[in-house]
Chain A
Amino acid sequence: MTISIRSVEKTFGRYPALNKVDLEIADGELLALLGPSGSGKTTLLRAIAGLEFPDAGQVLFDGVDVTFASAADRRVGFVFQQYALFKHMTVAKNIAFGLDVRKGKDKPDKAEIARRVEELLKLVELEGLGKRYPSQLSGGQRQRVALSRALAVQPSVLLLDEPFGALDATVRKSLRRELRRVHDATGVTTIFVTHDQEEALELADRVAILNNGRIEQIGTPDQVHDQPSTAFVCGFVGEANRFEGQVSNGRFSAGVLGLPATGLRDGAATAYVRPHDFALDDSGFEARVERAHVQGPLTTVNAVTPDGRRLEISASRAEAARFAGTIRIAARKAHVYAA
């Protein structure tokens, strides 16, 4: 199922949640909508689901206009932020809901529904828990039930709203892999909303970054991380040192820090340097190391320049010993944006 979003707009009161959003999602793709809270990512997801209707613009499924079609007619599977499991129904009843609700010849018979439920429980590794109630499950298990309930209707697209937001870090990590596995097994076009850039970069085929109701950039995790097209993306995705300065004659300068900025007009600008893009360089600028601490295979070095700018530098453990006292460093790579 390909999905096209065309100039979709949505306003809540006087606050624009979506501002002329365009987005193309390929069949079988796993796409992340990434953005800070209030960026419009959940509204966009709900507009795709048919739980929210845009003020303007179109939503197309395989070229067919479904802008105002109901969620059920679109055959979407939706996983809610707090799962929204039916508390008074067993896990099996929850999963079967979308099949039970069908009428006439569309409704599978009892044995068929039971078989589907077993199959789905197996897919999310919850065999034998069909008779439990949601309150008897852990957070991670509830998440899996919500996922299999959404998959039970054999949706044309699977939509997940902050699917791992309510889980602790370890469960979150394993469920991420789980979602990827389920996606690869079913091949269903999947879109999920997250504010966690690590989650988006690890899981998604492509990431769409939203800010203030607009899409700032769409691309593969590599692209959005290594070639951020706007200052917002650069600051939001991955770690970065931020410098406010001036561009003149194709060079950015902020105090002792100088960077090439070819093609940028003279004037105020903002530069971002990733921590791992700083390297020791005798022709570079001076900084004093304040603190260094181990972070997995890397060492994070906190340094300060003579004019008081704080830097975060990431270096390999082998190199770490050389980051002591006063050092000279330079940026191997930087992203400079006109203010």
Chain B
Amino acid sequence: MAAASHRRATDDPAWAKALVIGIVLAFLALVLVLPLAAVFVEALRKGLDAAVAAVRAPDALAAVRLTLITAAIAVPFNAAFGLCAAWAIAKHDFKGKALLITLIDLPFSVSPVVAGLIYVLIFGLQGWFGDWLVERDLKIIFALPGIVLATVFVTFPFVARELIPLMQEQGTSEEEAAVSMGAGGLYTFWRVTAPNVRWGLMYGVLLCNARAMGEFGAVSVVSGHIRGLTNTMPLHVEILYNEYDFVGAFAVAALLCLLAVVTLILKTALEVAQPHVRGRGGH
């Protein structure tokens, strides 16, 4: 039998495969597809016009703008930081390296609410620098800088985490080869190190961006929820929902989902577009 000849020792019986795949699909449908569908269904409950109108309300537009500005600041910052951190960790040996790796993971293990509170404690009115900031009429908490800071804190592991294993796997021999042929540090970085990690970097940036636009907890603490001013999209969704404006809430939520979908499409496109130089191929 032709099919039998393709069987491998590790193959499980058909019913087991079907069961496992079924469980996965059912679980995905329940916790992922259903809620996602619900978001769009609820948003369109009173028709497309109502949804569009809700998104085009001045407060909603302000929230979209604030979210995009925050991501536009936080993501490049974290991309640069992540690249530096990964380069330092993967290509060099220094004291305290293990500690640095642990620190980079901190935002993943600390509750975002705590992260937000830290900034309130430092920069808030009653905080360490509160008086100093008031004297100079600088606003960090309940303003854009606080929101950006909180977002940066929560999203900074993404790029570094994506790049560290990639760079470690690639080792340092290509850099050594470049240096032995007379290339300087910067030249080596731009011509050898960076091109080898560009796909990983873009992937990390996309993940970072998705999280930056969606962050709720930390931003919620530092934002102050001033409508049209310090409300990001996730916060705006919550406000509308609490005001029983379900169509509005779900319409903005749907827009947020669409941004995530665009991110996912970009990510898939990146994976498909990788030419002959597949990030990890080579050997």
* Distance between Cα atoms of A70 and B179 in the complex (Å): 9
Inter-chain CB contacts under 8 Å: number: 70
In chain A, positions 51-77 with a C-beta closer than 8 Å to chain B are 51, 70-72, 76-77
- Chain B window 177-194, contacts with chain A (Cβ cutoff 8 Å), 1 for yes, 0 for no: 111111100010001100
Q: Say whether B173 contacts A71, CB under 8 Å.
A: no
- Min C-beta distance of A125 to chain B, whole Å: 22
A153 CA to B180 CA in the complex, in Å?
Answer: 10
Structural contact, B177 and A84, CB atoms closer than 8 A: yes
Which residues on the B side are within 8 Å of A77 (C-beta)?
Answer: 180
Chain B: CB-nearest residue to A74 = B180
Among the stretches A96-104, A245-253, A290-298, the one at the interface with B is A96-104
Question: Which of chain B's residues 163-218 have a Cβ closer than 8 Å to chain A?
Answer: 173-174, 176-183, 187, 191-192, 195-196
Please tell me if B277 contacts chain A, counting CB pairs below 8 Å. yes
Interface centre among B176, B179, B181 (most CB of A within 10 A): B181
Which of A49, A70, A71 has the most chain B CB atoms inside 10 A of its CB?
A71
Evaluate contact between B281 and A50: CB separation under 8 angstroms.
no
Query: Does the CB pair B182–A87 fall under 8 Å?
Result: no
Contact with A along B266-283 (1 / 0, CB 8 A): 000000000011100111
The number of chain B residues touching the other chain, given as a range, is 20 to 34
Residue from B177, B183, B191 whose CB has the most chain A CB atoms within 10 Å = B177
Q: Contact string, A274-315, partner B, CB cutoff 8 A, digits 1/0? A: 000000000000000000000000000000000000000000
> A101 to B276, Cβ gap below 8 A?
no
- A157-205, CB < 8 A from B: none
Interface of A is mostly: loop
A82 contacts across to B, CB distance below 8 A: 173, 283
Please determine whether A72 and B282 come into contact, CB atoms closer than 8 angstroms. no
Q: A84-B173, A84-B174 in contact; A135/B182 too (CB < 8 A)?
A: no
Instruction: Given contacts A77-B180, A135-B278, list 20 more A-B pairs with CB under 8 A.
Output: A71-B176, A72-B179, A72-B181, A76-B180, A78-B176, A82-B283, A84-B173, A84-B174, A85-B174, A85-B282, A86-B191, A87-B282, A97-B178, A98-B181, A101-B178, A101-B181, A133-B276, A135-B276, A135-B282, A136-B276
Chain B residues in the interface with A (C-beta under 8 A): 173-174, 176-183, 187, 191-192, 195-196, 276-278, 281-283
4 tightest Cβ-Cβ pairs between the two chains A and B: A98-B181, A72-B182, A84-B173, A71-B180
